[in-house]
Amino acid sequence: MNEQNIKDSEKSILQLKQALRKNLEAVDQEIISRLNKSIPLINDIGTHLINAAGKRLRPLLTLAMAAQFNNYSKNPILLAAAVEFIHTATLLHDDVVDESNLRRGKKTANIIWGNEFSVLAGDFLFAQSFELMVETQSIDALSSLASASCKITQGEFQQMQIANKPETSIENYLEVIGKKTAELFGASCKSGVIISEGNVEQQNAAYDYGFNLGLAFQIVDDLMDFNNLPNKMGKNFGDDFKLGKTTLPVILAWQKSNPKEKKFWVRTLKELNQKPNDFSNAIDIFNKYNIFNECKKKTKEFISVSVKSLEKLPDSEIKNHLIGLANESIERSK
Q: Does the pLDDT value for residue 187 go beyond 90?
A: yes
| pLDDT band of 166, cuts 50, 70, 90 | very high
What is the pTM for the complete model shown? 0.90
Q: Rounded to 10 degrees, what is the CA torsion of 158, 152, 299, 56? A: -150
- State the pLDDT at residue 237: 67
Please check the confidence at residue 278 and state whether its pLDDT lies above 60: yes
Amino acid at 167: E
Q: What is the mean pLDDT of residues 238-255?
A: 94
Task: Name all domains of the chain by residue range, CATH numbers in brackets.
Answer: 16-323 (1.10.600.10)
Number of C-beta neighbours around residue 150 at 10 A = 12
pLDDT > 70 in the chain, percent: 85
- Residue 219's pLDDT band (boundaries 50, 70, 90)? very high
Q: What is the pLDDT of residues 80-109, one digit of tens each?
A: 999 999 998 888 767 666 666 656 556 766
Residue that wins the pLDDT comparison between 52 and 271: 271
Residue 180: phi, psi to the nearest 5?
-70, -35
pLDDT of residue 229: 46
Among 105-114, 135-144, 168-177, 312-321, the range scoring the smallest mean pLDDT is 105-114
Most confident listed range (13-17, 86-90, 284-288): 284-288
Q: Give the max Cα distance, the chain.
A: 60
At residue 96, the pLDDT reads 64
Range scoring the smallest mean pLDDT among 21-35, 108-122, 146-160, 291-305: 108-122
Query: Is the separation of the CB atoms in 103 and 52 below 8 Å?
Result: yes
Which DSSP state fits 180? Answer: I
- With cut-offs at 50, 70 and 90, classify the pLDDT of residue 124: confident
**Chain-centroid distance, C-alpha 168:** 21
Taking only the tens place, the pLDDT of each residue in 316-334 is: 999 999 999 999 988 764 4
